[in-house]
Amino acid sequence: MKYINLHTHDKYSDGKGDPADFINSAIEKKMGGIGFSSHSPVPLPNSWSMKLENTGKYIEDINNQKVLFKKEIPVYLGLELDYIENLDVKSYIGFDKLNLDFYLAAVHYIYIEKLDIYDTVDDNITVFKKILEEGFDHSMESFYTKYFETYRMMINEYRPLILAHLDLIKKNNGNNVYYNENDESYVAQVLMTLDEIKKHDCVLEVNTGGMSRGYTSDTYPSLWILKECRKRKIRVTVNADAHQKDNIDFMFDFAVSNIRKAGYTSIYQFVEGTFKEHAI
Ligand SMILES: [Zn+2]
Ligand SMILES: [Zn+2]
């Protein structure tokens, strides 16, 4: 099976390198396709999203690459589209007129009611601790509950085809410092979210980006969650969340072996605009 990666960040958001660098890397690795998924612009200041004024240039660039590499590898134009509670990201970026091949729906921001601010769940440990202490009165349960509630809101409002890093909140939870994934309330939040995913027939990505950047020892989502996905017959795909060209297939064999361990016998891959099933 030739791997396809849809989750790629180049210089237009927080990745390193031109789109062509990533495409050449994908060709060298004999991959079956590559999609670009710059972080969508958002109406909040940050260092990692694409700037609104660069959106047109990004789209033009990727569309040009599609033509240039036509004979060598399929190239897909996408975005990692943020969902932010009560902020209309789609309108902000003129989403309906972008003519994308795909998008990955993602939650990075949550609304922190106590402080009346938005902040991200995957920032560095100092920010994470501050949110936990000041935003949620040291209650990790309240923190992750808010995260998964927001994720479910995203599914209901966007009705997306592809979902990014389901349990991103575990990024700062190495060695179970803040919570245990066996905690009853954590399990309940995850399972409620899986039911929503199944209801809307979304494709869930198995993302190796936490591992390639040294944050996690496992994929997003964790193996136990993949087993629960399997029970519900949720379709899964493999993505790298690559921020540099060498990582566009980072530990895909490991991800597929995790998927197999969860009981799956196939994954889904994005080919010419639709997901096709591939035996593993
Ligand atoms: Zn992301
Ligand atoms: Zn990403």
Distance 93 CA to ligand 1 centre (A): 17
Buried-exposed string 220-251: b where 16+ CB fall within 10 A, e elsewhere: bbbeebbebbbeeebbbbbbbbbbbbebbbbb
What confidence score (pLDDT) does residue 118 get? Answer: 98
The confidence score (pLDDT) of residue 116 equals: 98
The per-residue pLDDT for 43 is 98
**Helix/strand/coil for 11:** coil
CATH of the domain at 231: 3.20.20.140
Task: Please give all residues whose CB falls under 5 A of ion ligand 1, grouped by chain where several chains appear.
Answer: 106
Q: Which two tokens stand for residue 99?
A: 């003519």
What's the CA gap between 223 and 216, in Å, rounded?
A: 13
Residues of the chain with pLDDT under 50: none
What residues have CB less than 8 Å from 64, skipping those under 6 apart? none
List pLDDT tens digits, range 139-180.
Answer: 999 999 999 999 999 999 999 999 999 999 999 999 999 999
The amino acid sitting at 74 is P
| Number of domains, the chain | 1
List pLDDT tens digits, range 187-228: 999 999 999 999 999 999 999 999 999 999 999 999 999 999
Q: Minimum-distance ligand to the CA of 165? A: 1
**Closest ligand, as measured to the CA of 35:** 2
241: CA distance to ligand 2 center in Å?
Answer: 5
Query: Measured in angstroms, how far is the CA atom of residue 72 from the centroid of ligand 2?
Result: 25
Nearest to 261 by CA among 186, 191, 214, 206: 206
Entry pTM: 0.98
Q: Which domain holds residue 234?
A: 4-279
Question: Distance from the CA of 106 to the center of ligand 1, in angstroms?
Answer: 6
Three-class secondary structure of residue 136 per DSSP? helix
Quote the mean pLDDT of the chain.
Answer: 97
Pick from 113, 166, 163: nearest CA to 142: 113
